[in-house]
């Protein structure tokens, strides 16, 4: 997922912007839903269901158990706070009522009505994010094995491929980004949102840097530093801005779309100009990724409360990620072969 990162982050942030703008969605503006949530927050119950996270004393004040009686964090992660449980079950009840009236689902607080599984908010997106992480891990490990166990080494130690170190860092940043994507879709709270966004921005900025260094064939360390310094400084400043000042969805979207479009254009043009033997893989990722974006544009409610357009879009990045790492391996073989010939 390299050029793929461009599509991914750009549309994730456009989606996030829409979530922020329509936080007061049709569902949570519904008077029946609002009354249900209000009553639940007072009583701790929706119908016959009462929630242990809504704890009240005899005078109606919320209470918490002492620390030594609380479950460990890894078990607490499956639980939601009182407000979240009230919203979730009021949403489910309201959607059942609307279904009986032949009315379609609507969004609540900017999100479609998903069904939780093991406490996960968007289980399909979690699963596909985890699969993307697995494919990245496979791609990175296979790249490592190719470099150091299958291709000739310079002086028996160092890989001939000049961009090996850059791709190793890319692999680590990709794993980090998809890990937090899975966590964010599992539990959408302020901390997981910022970690997901920050990881995505860092990966996107680094992807742009690698695109520049590889396409312009920049191998000199001093020149690499000169090219990288302003981009790293900008990305670092932006990450600090969205974490410690304000998470401005609009500005974040602009920054990421610009970096995404820039790297996509660089790779697509370079593939044609360089006549790279595996250029078809680059173009395949560009065009297939572009078609996959239609899933984000054509937003539809989750099937059976699980599978929505965004989850399907995550699914499409899995095979494209495999193809992308295949191109990276091909590039390593191509450059190594060329350099070995010159060394003889």
Annotate 121-142 with DSSP letters as a single string: SSHHHHHHHHHHHHHHHHHHHH
Distance, in Å, from the CA atom of 244 to the CA atom of 269, rounded to the nearest integer, reads 37
Q: Do 226 and 155 share a domain, yes or no?
A: yes
Give Cβ neighbours of residue 258 (< 8 Å, ≥ 6 apart).
none
Give Cβ neighbours of residue 27 (< 8 Å, ≥ 6 apart).
33, 91, 94, 106, 107, 108, 109, 113
Specify if 107 maps to a domain. no
Specify if 55 maps to a domain. yes
Distance, in Å, from the CA atom of 81 to the CA atom of 79, rounded to the nearest integer, reads 7
Q: Provide the β-strand partners of residue 172.
A: none
Distance, in Å, from the CA atom of 178 to the CA atom of 132, rounded to the nearest integer, reads 7
Q: Do 80 and 221 share a domain, yes or no?
A: no
Q: At what angle do helices 249-274 and 190-215 cross, to 10 degrees?
A: 30
- In the chain, count of helices (H) and strands (E)? 13, 4
Residue at a domain's end among 65, 100, 135 = 100
Number of domains composing the chain: 2
Range of the domain at 57: 26-100
Q: Do 94 and 12 share a domain, yes or no?
A: no
Q: Do 93 and 156 share a domain, yes or no?
A: no
Q: What is the pTM of this model?
A: 0.84
Q: Do 11 and 140 share a domain, yes or no?
A: yes
Asked whether the CA dihedral 268, 270, 275, 276 is positive or negative, the reply is negative
Distance, in Å, from the CA atom of 99 to the CA atom of 90, rounded to the nearest integer, reads 14
Taking only the tens of pLDDT, the chain with its 344 residues reads 455 555 555 555 555 444 444 445 788 888 999 999 998 988 889 888 888 777 654 444 545 555 444 555 555 555 677 888 899 999 999 999 988 988 889 888 878 888 888 888 899 999 999 999 999 999 999 999 999 999 999 887 899 999 999 999 999 999 999 999 999 999 888 889 999 999 999 999 999 999 999 999 999 999 999 999 999 999 999 999 999 999 888 888 888 888 888 888 899 999 999 999 999 999 999 888 777 777 766 778 888 888 888 889 899 999 999 999 999 999 999 999 999 988 76
Specify if 112 maps to a domain. no
CATH code for the domain of 266 = 1.20.1070
């Amino acid at each position: 997922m390299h050029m793929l990162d461009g599509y991914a982050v750009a549309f994730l942030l456009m989606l996030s912007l829409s979530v922020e703008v329509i936080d007061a969605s049709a569902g949570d503006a519904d008077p029946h839903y609002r009354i249900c949530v209000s009553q639940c927050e007072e009583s701790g119950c929706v119908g016959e269901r009462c929630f242990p996270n809504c704890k009240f004393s005899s005078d109606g004040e919320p209470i918490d158990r002492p620390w030594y009686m609380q479950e460990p964090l890894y078990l607490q992660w499956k639980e939601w706070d009182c407000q979240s449980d009230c919203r979730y079950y009021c949403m489910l009840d309201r959607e059942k009522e609307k279904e009986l009236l032949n009315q379609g689902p609507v969004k609540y607080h900017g999100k479609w009505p998903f069904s939780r599984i093991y406490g996960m908010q968007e289980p399909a997106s979690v699963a596909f994010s985890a699969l993307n992480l697995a494919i990245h891990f496979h791609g990175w490990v296979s790249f490592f094995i190719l470099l150091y166990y299958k291709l000739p080494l310079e002086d028996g130690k160092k890989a001939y491929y000049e961009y090996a170190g850059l791709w190793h860092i890319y692999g680590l940043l990709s794993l980090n980004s998809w890990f937090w994507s899975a966590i964010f879709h599992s539990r959408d709270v302020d901390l997981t949102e910022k970690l997901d966004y920050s990881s995505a921005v860092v990966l996107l900025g680094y992807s742009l840097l690698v695109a520049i260094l590889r396409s312009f064939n920049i191998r000199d360390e001093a020149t690499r530093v000169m090219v990288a310094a302003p981009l790293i400084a900008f990305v670092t400043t932006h990450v600090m801005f969205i974490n410690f000042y304000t998470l401005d969805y609009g500005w974040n979207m602009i920054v990421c779309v610009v970096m995404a479009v820039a790297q996509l254009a660089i790779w697509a043009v370079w593939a044609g100009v360089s006549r790279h033997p595996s250029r078809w893989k680059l173009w395949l990722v560009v065009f297939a990724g572009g078609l996959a974006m239609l899933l984000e544009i054509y937003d539809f409610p989750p099937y059976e409360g699980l599978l929505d357009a965004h989850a399907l879009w995550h699914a499409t990045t899995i095979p494209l990620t495999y193809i992308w790492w295949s191109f990276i391996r091909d590039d390593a073989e191509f450059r190594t072969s060329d350099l070995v010939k010159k060394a003889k």
